[in-house]
Amino acid sequence: MLSLREGYIALIPFFIVASLITLLNQWLDIAAQGFDHQYLNDFNQLVWGLFPLLSLISFSYHLAKNLKVHTIAAPILVVSCFTATTGYMFIDNNMIHIDQTQGVLYSLFMPIFCIHLLSYFVQVKWFRIVNVSSISLFLRKHINLIFPYLAVTATTLLLYPFVDNSANWLFNHLLAFQVELTDFGKVFVQLFSIHLLWFFGVHGDNTYHILAPTDVANYVVGANIANYHFFSAFVLLGGTGCIWAIIIASFLIKGAKHEQHIAKISLPLAIFNISEVMIYALPIVFNPYMLIPFLLAPMLNALLSYYAISSGLLTMAAEQAVPWFTPIFLNAWLLTNSYLGVFLQVLLVALNVAIYYPFLKMYRRHSVSGKALDMLVKRYSAGRKIEDKAESMFAIHHSEQQLEHHCLKEVTDALNQGSLTLYYQPKMDLKTGAVIGFEALLRLKRAAGKVEGPWFLETLAKHKLLDVIDNFVIDQLEVDLDKFAQAGLSPKVSFNISPDNLLNGGYKRVVKAFARFEDQVEVELLESSYIEDFAATIEVVNLLKRSHIRCAMDDFGTGYSCLSVLSKLNIDTIKLDRSLLPDSSNSKSETLYRHLAQLCTQLGFNTVAEGIETEADEKVVKSANIHCVQGFLYHKAMPIEAAIELLEKNIEQSEDCSISM
């Protein structure tokens, strides 16, 4: 579903440019004016004839990316199988021709079949020609595609005749049924077919007129109105799916910012009955929440309009031709020369809004934001990005870094087979036992469901690839803070970022992501940041604090600690590392821990004790008068859903205590 969404959104510029050129040519009749522009007469047919191939390539690319198959090799394979089997491209008199009536539906199903099959075959060990790491990862991947390519092509060529014969049999029976339909039956079939094709991502209007017989695609509604005018003036108000209704409904829903942004973009085009932006960007394609209103609204329009025409309430102007791009209200007036036609359109739009409104509200309530959808892609693409960067490094450092490259391959393989996510470890108030915040911790979720810590960070740091991970953490935390906010919660959350990335411009991304969460986010810096470039770190911390983003020193006491630095720090929080916690036989270390905590407090820092795992650890922390703690003794890191549930439960307990008192 994600791949379809991405594939068709990528084609929005094509839809808009093609529609606008067609619109301007028909409106201004440029081809008839001379100037060697006669080819514009065929523009619509030529360009839309490429639509199956364009959608095939776009969908194949994004599906391959999300299935972690090669994003160039996979679409090439799909295009080869598509052109070899469907008849979309054929040879006649040594010339290659395109038959746009062939293979339209296969542009959707061929990528699904071929790329899923390729994804399976590349995992089969028997098909691997080379397994050694002494050659480039890039070269090894492509050599190992030879046998999977062959297997997918052979399977497709073998199965296609059986699939196509079955499809033709079904299609011919449907055509035979359509020929016998009444006028309104033809209206119903046309509406249902067009909108169902659109829902599955196929350009419904063009596809229907390509596949349907002439007497089914072109007919008269009532006494004297062509179905072309009937649909454009009284059924598809704003374009396929009655887009004016969705636009108005979007503005009526409070807080629907994403939908309203899409509506604003779609509005100028909807004036001329162009609906592709709303259909693909909202989206309506493969959106189960929008299927019912997407079918119901035009059906209701057709039923009421057909009744008005057949009963004589509405009469059409004789031989009046109104282009499809004529705005609503104007097209009704031109066709009927009556305010009754305009009133009917107003009534239909109002009814369509009433139909769309509850479904759009339901979709907004259960859908994720555009940012979260982008994060869904990033969650599974970190390994591919790192793999791409690793490949460029291979040629330069091959002879010197064989061992490191092997380790990096293990990391990229692990990331490609799993997904990155954030877990949240609660910070507790030692006095009250309340949750007072969280630390966001990176985790790797394996395909089998096992969750692992970020064991790969050291390897990525050696290869200067931590920026990919840092960017994921920042973007995912931004999405998760929105999830907390949707639940009515605003916990304080801290997270780590690599010093190099922070000082080399990463702070800009932090500010952009979290400035709107005032005093809610805390960046945890390693002591090494100050040791390596004290002045730059001080400046970045000041900049973050001006944007209401707090800063902490993480793992204080792990090797770089310098007491003279403490007096110069401009951070808010000191986190005492677990390594400073004394054992039962070392009274000196307990004294050191207690006085270090006291020193931090007197210098004005908030102090957090990390790694509290036993009651003995807790006893030491209490004696040091530290109130904020985190560790396994209280809670392990947990998914965001569990963190929200824990915070809500904590709030309920606090309210119960207040009531009882």
In a shared domain, residues 473 and 501: yes
In a shared domain, residues 410 and 491: yes
The pLDDT value given to residue 310: 82
The pLDDT tens digits of the residues spanning 370-391 come to 555 555 556 556 665 665 565 5
Residues 514-549 as b or e (16 or more Cβ within 10 Å = b): beebeebbbbbbbbbbbeeeeeebbebbeebbeeeb
**Among all chains, which residue has been given the structure tokens 């190099």?**
500
In this structure, is residue 642 part of a structural domain? yes
For the record, the structure tokens of 494 come out as 């801290």
The pLDDT value given to residue 89: 81
Domain count, the chain: 2
In this structure, is residue 157 part of a structural domain? no
The pLDDT tens digits of the residues spanning 183-224 come to 778 888 888 888 888 887 766 776 676 666 666 667 777 666
In a 13 Å sphere around the CA of 263, the CA atoms on its Cβ side amount to: 18
In a shared domain, residues 340 and 464: no
Task: Name the nearest CA neighbour of 23 among 327, 324, 332, 278.
Answer: 324
Among 350, 367, 384, identify where a domain stops: 367
In this structure, is residue 171 part of a structural domain? no
In a shared domain, residues 348 and 376: no
Contact 580, 555 (CB under 8 A): no
Contact 65, 381 (CB under 8 A): yes
The pLDDT value given to residue 450: 87
CA angle (228 as vertex; 225, 231 as ends), nearest 5: 95
Give the three-class secondary structure for 550. Answer: strand
In a shared domain, residues 360 and 311: yes
CA angle (373 as vertex; 368, 374 as ends), nearest 5: 145
The pLDDT value given to residue 403: 46
The pLDDT value given to residue 395: 46
In this structure, is residue 305 part of a structural domain? yes
For the record, the structure tokens of 459 come out as 């390897």
The pLDDT value given to residue 406: 55
Given a cut of 50, the residues of the chain with pLDDT beneath it are 394-396, 398-403
Task: Name the nearest CA neighbour of 502 among 532, 482, 478.
Answer: 532
In a shared domain, residues 279 and 385: no
The pLDDT value given to residue 95: 86
In a shared domain, residues 250 and 340: yes
In a shared domain, residues 566 and 498: yes
Among 367, 388, 420, identify where a domain stops: 367
Question: Distance between CA atoms of 222 and 308, rounded to whole angstroms?
Answer: 10
Task: Name the nearest CA neighbour of 492 among 502, 484, 503.
Answer: 484
* Residues across the chain: 661
Strand partners, 438: 426, 493
Q: Give the helix/strand (H/E) hosting 330.
A: helix 330-336
For the record, the structure tokens of 647 come out as 């915070």
Is 438 buried (19+), middle (13-18) or exposed (0-12) by CB count in 10 A?
A: buried
In this structure, is residue 11 part of a structural domain? no
CA distances from 249 to 242, 339, 382 (A): 11, 25, 37
Task: Name the nearest CA neighbour of 382 among 332, 305, 443, 301.
Answer: 443
The pLDDT value given to residue 400: 47
Contact 445, 451 (CB under 8 A): yes
Question: Distance between CA atoms of 446 and 18, rounded to whole angstroms?
Answer: 44
Question: Distance between CA atoms of 236 and 299, rounded to whole angstroms?
Answer: 10
The pLDDT value given to residue 640: 94
In a shared domain, residues 222 and 323: yes
Contact 502, 472 (CB under 8 A): no
In a shared domain, residues 218 and 340: yes
Question: Distance between CA atoms of 198 and 296, rounded to whole angstroms?
Answer: 14
Domain limits at 208?
192-367
Q: What is the mean pLDDT of the chain?
A: 81
In this structure, is residue 150 part of a structural domain? no
In a shared domain, residues 359 and 380: no
Residues 389-421 as b or e (16 or more Cβ within 10 Å = b): bbeebbeeeeeebeeebebbbebbeebbebbbb
Percent helix, percent strand, percent coil in the chain, to nearest 5: 60, 10, 30
State in Å, rounded, how far the first CA of the chain is from the last one.
52
The pLDDT value given to residue 37: 59
In this structure, is residue 146 part of a structural domain? no
Among 367, 392, 413, identify where a domain stops: 367
In this structure, is residue 577 part of a structural domain? yes
Q: Give the helix/strand (H/E) hosting 406.
A: helix 402-417
The pLDDT tens digits of the residues spanning 286-331 come to 788 889 999 999 999 999 998 888 888 888 765 666 777 788 898 8
In a shared domain, residues 262 and 398: no
CA distances from 49 to 29, 81, 199, 358 (A): 21, 18, 20, 37
Q: In 93-235, at which residue ranges do the beta strands (DSSP E only) sit?
A: 95-98, 220-221, 225-226
Residue 473 belongs to domain with CATH number: 3.20.20.450
Say if pTM beats, i.e. exceeds, 0.85: no
